[in-house]
Structure 1
């Protein structure tokens, strides 16, 4: 009989190794989440916000030094938790403590319900409670994931490109998202648009170009402002550039860029850049084209007093006004920079109709051929 009792006691200890006795010196009387009493209810909390946890503590015995801790488990990259500093609890006195849990915007909310753990503890005992939170995405929430600069150091008079990566962390799709890039201290700005940003998706806005004033020098903040939800919501991001030195130009070259017209959604168009080397020796020229899914040819070497030609293609994905950046450089410096405004047309309805007719004809011929074989 004694052996059986010993075994049962041992099994009980193994089964409940982390159970500790409730303290007789303090108790948790109430918990509120964002002002809503948590006991007996499920409290809704949005991702990407700071949840306020309000804990009421009552002293019920000897004076004791305690802490209050709140946490959520289940986050892939660690627990979400916060703990107070040590404070003294005395018999018959009520206390109110605040904790703030930062709810990550990338928390998995496929099941929505998470357990909020709250405990008061000292060196020996603790009081703990669990509450249910209903976590969900915000209705409208766009974040600036990255700000990509064409260079972190530029010279006065340079074109300076900024590409912004966005993520839609809300559960509503967003349309006509406006991205404004500015350097407030220099009084310059430009804006581009993202036509559609689906829930859960990331997208890169077209590169926004700024011209650095010729008298600028020093470090400047680059401010990105994103307006969405029909302009009712806004988020910002910042980066920095340094303007220093003087731009080195190669002036012994003449450049001609073919007119960029006839752009149509879903079609690839080819354009040419002609460079004439007016120097007394051969030079290697480098072409850079940005915008509308541009692809461009490799560097070319042009003999003295001769001309050479680059080609580049553009493949627009959406209609409307846009811009294309073209830059020619040599080993001696910048030859030219051009920011060209372009218009992109919708795919021709007649072309779509022609394709449909051809498909119908092919299907008809196939059916006729099949029937004749019967």
Structure 2
């Protein structure tokens, strides 16, 4: 019985020894430090293998979790100039000084480096450390396989392990690349605010169901939208100009501007946010008349010379065959003459415009001037509501800027019919010339024949018979 107990004790001791030997063999023995594991977005990767990163947007951030273990016997590397602190004192815990962990993706042809590096730290003998590195994937990153290099570096050594990752983008993904405002950052209350938005399709499928672009200023209760019919993979496009008018009673201050792009049948929306600064209107005595026209007061910086501006109506139907007329009245309430200039812009070039009697007029003190903006739609103008931007300036200062609306009505002239008529007209001209030539030739032939007949008659009359 006693022998059996001794045998069992020896057996258990042997098992413990084997387990201890296995643990020691599993420890870092190949160098002062070892990379024991690497995880990309919570998925472990192995050297020589490939980790497929699915449904990651180009432009997203991925996580690279690196575990580093320090050798349990740093004294074995005392002659390798590794900056081992405590190596000359056996009573102190040895540690490597100023270690850094770095992750780098290679194979991307661009100016942006895809890499991250940890802060320097001291690593104690036999201890494991985990560093969480973040890699920002560029929007222009092509869906492909890339090399991920993980490095652990000290002052006098570098350990590098290489892994493979494959990036696969989402099926539908749209980003807002840029937004351009006019005015750029500061706009006066009562004035127009214009915005264009540039979007890019960074998914791996075309957006054939349209993209809705919307710009809004929630605190002012204004917004404008545009629709982009389709956008192919990796392509970019810019929206039409979006027009808003800052309320005349808007208070001075900074306001949030929300930019949205909705895609994938309205299931996905990407949002960006920026801001603009609103300044008070030059004069807040604007009022609305019963006729639907608007009346605003513009003033010089000193406020001494005021101008009453009336435009009305601001919205009306514009017939293709007749056009429309927008009346403008300028009243100079100052004490001296003022020169006014009116500029017009048919947004998108949908119409031709003309200011009568002239786009520049001079109004004496207390005098009113009446002007008329004639708008004629082009043959290619789309039916429906269109915008006309009108600016009124004096002495280099913009007194008023307003967006007039015109509802284009009437059938559009067919460009095919126009082209056919042009061809027909040219054919008729050529036919007329040919007809004239033929008539001249016929007249010549008749004339020659007539002369020939007269000669023959004259010859027969002079003959003598025997």
Structure 2 residue aligned with 1:365: none
Q: In structure 1, how many angstroms separate the alpha carbons of the residues matched to 2:218 and 2:370?
A: 42
Q: Indicate which of 38, 50, 71 corresponds to 1:41.
A: 50
- 2:348 and 2:67 mapped to 1: Cα distance? 59
Q: Contact 1:68–1:84 at 8 Å: present in 2 too?
A: yes
Question: Partner residue of 2:318?
Answer: 261
Q: CA offsets per residue over residues 170-189 of structure 1, 9 Å max, x none? A: 23233332223222233433
Displacement of 1:113: 2.2
**Aligned residue in 1 for 2:278:** 243
Q: Which one is further off, 300-309 or 49-58?
A: 300-309
Whether contact under 8 Å (1:23, 1:127) holds in the other structure is no
| Residue in structure 2 matching 1:153, options 177, 186, 191 | 186
Higher strand share: 1
**Deviation of 1:297 (Å):** 6.0
The match for 2:343 is: 287
Report SS of the residue matched to 1:37.
strand
- Residue 153 (structure 2) pairs with residue 121 (structure 1): yes
Paired residue for 1:301? 360
- The answer to whether 1:100 aligns with 2:134 is yes
Question: Residues of 1 paired with 2:337 and 2:422: CA distance?
Answer: 57
On the 8 A contact 2:70/2:128 being kept in 1, the answer is yes
1:28 and 2:35 are equivalent in the alignment: yes
Match of residue 67 from structure 1: 100
Q: Does 1:167 align with 2:230?
A: no
Distance 1:247 1:102 in 2: 47
1:93-144 Cα distance to aligned partner (Å, 9 max, x none): 333221110011123x1x7222111111112222211122223443222222
Cα offset for 1:153? 2.5
Distance in 2 between residues matched to 1:346 and 1:128, nearest whole Å: 72
Post-superposition Cα deviations, 1:188-214, rounded to whole Å, max 9, x if no partner, equal 333333333333122224313143251
> CA separation of 1:46/1:253 partners in 2, compared to 1, >3 Å: closer, same or farther?
closer
Q: Is the 8 A contact 1:32 1:38 kept in 2?
A: yes
Q: Distance in 2 between matches of 1:239 and 1:315?
A: 37
Query: What TM-score does the superposition give when structure 2 sets the normalisation length?
Result: 0.60
How far has the Cα of 1:82 moved from its partner? 0.4
Looking at structure 1, the residues matched to 65 and 137 of structure 2 have their Cα atoms a distance apart, in angstroms, of: 16
Residue deviations 1:251-277 (CA, integer Å, cap 9, x gap): 4555457945357xxxx9976545455
Corresponding residue for residue 191 of structure 1: 225
Residue 61 of structure 2: aligned partner: 50
Aligned equivalents of 2:375, 2:166: Cα separation in 1:
53
Helix, strand or coil at the partner of 1:123: coil
The CA deviation at 1:324 is 0.9
The 3 A distance-change label for structure 1 pair 183 and 24 is same
CA contact (8 A) 1:318 1:344 kept: no
Measure how far apart 1:46 and its partner are: 3.8
* Structure 1, 47-56 or 126-135: larger mean CA deviation: 126-135
Matches within 5 A, 1:192-207: 192-199=226-233, 200-207=235-242
Does residue 1:227 correspond to 2:262, yes or no? yes
How far apart are 1:227 and its partner, in Å? 1.7
Instruction: Check 1:197–1:314 CA distance in 2 against 1; reply closer, same or farther (3 A cut).
Output: farther
| Partner residue in 2 for 1:328 | 391
* Alignment length (residue pairs): 333
User: Given the superposition, is the C-alpha separation of residues 167 and 316 from structure 1 closer, same or farther in structure 2, using an over 3 Å criterion?
Assistant: farther
Tell which structure's C-alpha radius of gyration is larger. Answer: 2
Give the TM-score of the pair, scaled to structure 1: 0.73
Q: 1:150 to 1:275 in 2, by over 3 A?
A: same
Q: In 2, Cα distance between the equivalents of 1:197 and 1:345?
A: 31
1:298-321 residue CA offsets vs partner (Å, 9 max, x unmatched): 982235566555456666989675
Q: Which secondary structure does the structure 2 equivalent of 1:185 belong to?
A: helix
Q: 1: distance between equivalents of 2:190 and 2:111? A: 45
Find the counterpart in structure 2 of residue 17 from structure 1.
none
For the aligned residue pairs, the C-alpha RMSD in angstroms reads 3.9
> What is the Cα deviation at residue 240 of structure 1?
2.1
Q: Give the whole-Å Cα distance in 2 for the aligned partners of 1:38 and 1:318.
A: 59
- Give 5+ residue unaligned stretches, structure 2: 1-28, 75-94, 284-296, 299-306, 425-466
The higher-RCO structure (CA 8 Å, 6+ apart) is 1
Please give the secondary structure, in 2, of the residue aligned with 1:191. strand
